[in-house]
Structure 1
Amino acid sequence: MTELLVCTDLDRTLIPNGHQPESPDARDLFWRLVQRPEVTLAYVSGRDRYLLESAIDEFALPTPDFAIGDVGTTIYRIDEGEWHAWRAWSDEIATDWAGNDRATLAGMLRDIPDIELQEPEKQNTHKLSYYAPADLDGDALAERIHDRLADAGVRSSVIWSIDEMRDVGLVDVLPAGATKVHAIRFLKERLHVADGRTVFAGDSGNDLPVLTSGLQAIVVANARDEVKQAAIRATAERGLENCLYVARGGLLGMNGNYAAGILEGIVHFIPEARSWLDIA
């Protein structure tokens, strides 16, 4: 039975593909922790299944028990190397788009300036994704898209984030129930894991719904300052300060970036995890 559910974003959270340095032993220590029998590991990412598998291979990551992909629109169970799509999740989120497919929604948004459809491989049945200039007011853009779709009876969640490496804005239009936070709650409820035994780690704007949801959440030290401040501000406004941990480095002499920050936050929320890492 799962005693601890560890959920983590990949790019610039577990994967050290940002500008900041990675602590040398951090990923090995993360691997050691998640291989324990009481730990269930779920990756939570904007990547699709094949990009998830590519990342696992390229960065020598532990194979997860579950993968929440495409910004929360897909959930896979991984069993002995086989990936099984969770149909119950797809059925649950499908009703939000009121019978409209992705192409129909794109038609509703065609006259909104400054957005450009992402490549076909970055779309899926329940995910409509655009590029936009990084210096736009992302919140205002997301609100405009949301309101346009709402007028057509579509219940949507519009997520704005920035790809630091490419300096481009990312806009994901999802069913209202298909955010990362809803997917994590769906998973933890079906695994019968309590809130106090669930942790999530992230770094970017599309992680903010989880970081500010009241689930135990970790912001890794390499996250953008505006993401840290937005998470701190939102949790304070909701009285959820105790549910958020912003990594700052120091655990085992590590810097708090990427996997080091995930481990630091896990130890903060789950004190017995110190012994799992053989920390004196």
Structure 2
Amino acid sequence: MKAVQPFLFVTDLDHTFVGNDAALVQLTQILETHRQEYGTRIVYATGRSPVLYQELKEEKNLLHPDGLVLSVGTEIYLDGNATPDPTWSEILSVGWDREIVLSITQKFAELTPQPDSEQRPFKLSFFLKQESAVDVLPQLESELEKYELNVKLIYSSGIDLDIVPRSSDKGQAMQFLRQKWKFAAERTVVCGDSGNDIALFAVGNERGIIVGNARPELLAWHSEYPADHRYLAQDFCAGGIIEGLKHFGFLE
């Protein structure tokens, strides 16, 4: 029976897994049962730093994950370990120079640094207003290109700018874990709601669930690049995830 096979469950947290409390309780029970009975693995992939993740975990009493992808894919933590996975950190460190990136960003007055907790070894984070982004992002990109650094810009929710290694995002972190744990793409499901989740959906033919409350940037991308292995839910947050898991036959 299809329903009793383990699957790899990868989800964004804010406005995806979290945000619909009644459905979250139900989804948590479903996932925990599936993990205990069939060996399903649970991964949270979030833009949050370790500090902000812990706050949310306590506030919402989140299920303990098997893997944790934090800071927009720049850090992977396995089995409750307090230090990032060294193999992943090594992959990201090639061609990355945090000090040079930092010095370039200081030329742009429109970039407001996010709190210290959000500045990570492989991530620099800023607030950038949407009206300034149109001009600032291309200029910043061309400045960074002069140094031939291993970097890319991730702008999401009309305010958050993350500068990270090119090889780092939620999608590539998910692929790293999928291969490590030997799950087929067809037995992997990814869930998200915003621009920084596009990486989860774009990387391969994993089953994708876009929750009903998805942001315009993700919906626009989805309509431009439709795919049979991606499902746009009606319900919001955890309710939409349950709907999608049933759609793909992961749940009966």
Tell me by how many angstroms 1:78 deviates.
2.5
The one-letter amino acid paired with 2:110 is: D
Taking the aligned partners of 1:105 and 1:25, their CA distance within structure 2 comes to 43
The one-letter amino acid paired with 1:263 is: I
SS of residue matched to 1:112? coil
Corresponding position of 2:232 = 246
Corresponding position of 1:34 = 31
Are 1:208 and 2:198 matched, yes or no? Answer: yes
SS of residue matched to 2:152? strand
Conserved 8 A contact 1:65-1:78: yes
TM-score (norm 1): 0.81
Tell me by how many angstroms 1:25 deviates.
3.2
- Deviation >6 Å, runs of 4+: none
1:122-201 pair list within 5 angstroms: 122-137=118-133, 141-162=136-157, 169-201=159-191
Tell me by how many angstroms 1:137 deviates.
4.5
Tell me by how many angstroms 1:27 deviates.
1.0
Tell me by how many angstroms 1:73 deviates.
0.3
Q: Which runs of 5+ in 2 are unaligned?
A: none
SS of residue matched to 1:10? coil
Tell me by how many angstroms 1:107 deviates.
0.6
In the TM superposition, what whole-angstrom CA distance separates every residue of 1:90-139 from its partner, at most 9, and x where no partner exists? 01111031xx2x2321112322352222121111110011111133445x
The one-letter amino acid paired with 2:25 is: D
Are 1:229 and 2:207 matched, yes or no? Answer: no
- Choose from 13, 17, 39 the match for 2:16: 13
The one-letter amino acid paired with 1:128 is: L
Corresponding position of 1:217 = 208
Give the RMSD, CA atoms, in angstroms.
1.9
The one-letter amino acid paired with 1:127 is: K
Taking the aligned partners of 1:191 and 1:39, their CA distance within structure 2 comes to 11
Conserved 8 A contact 2:125-2:163: yes
Taking the aligned partners of 2:138 and 2:31, their CA distance within structure 1 comes to 38
- Distance change (3 Å), C-alpha of 1:261 and 1:142: farther
SS of residue matched to 2:13? coil
Taking the aligned partners of 2:139 and 2:229, their CA distance within structure 1 comes to 30
Corresponding position of 1:78 = 79
Taking the aligned partners of 1:226 and 1:105, their CA distance within structure 2 comes to 26
Corresponding position of 1:252 = none
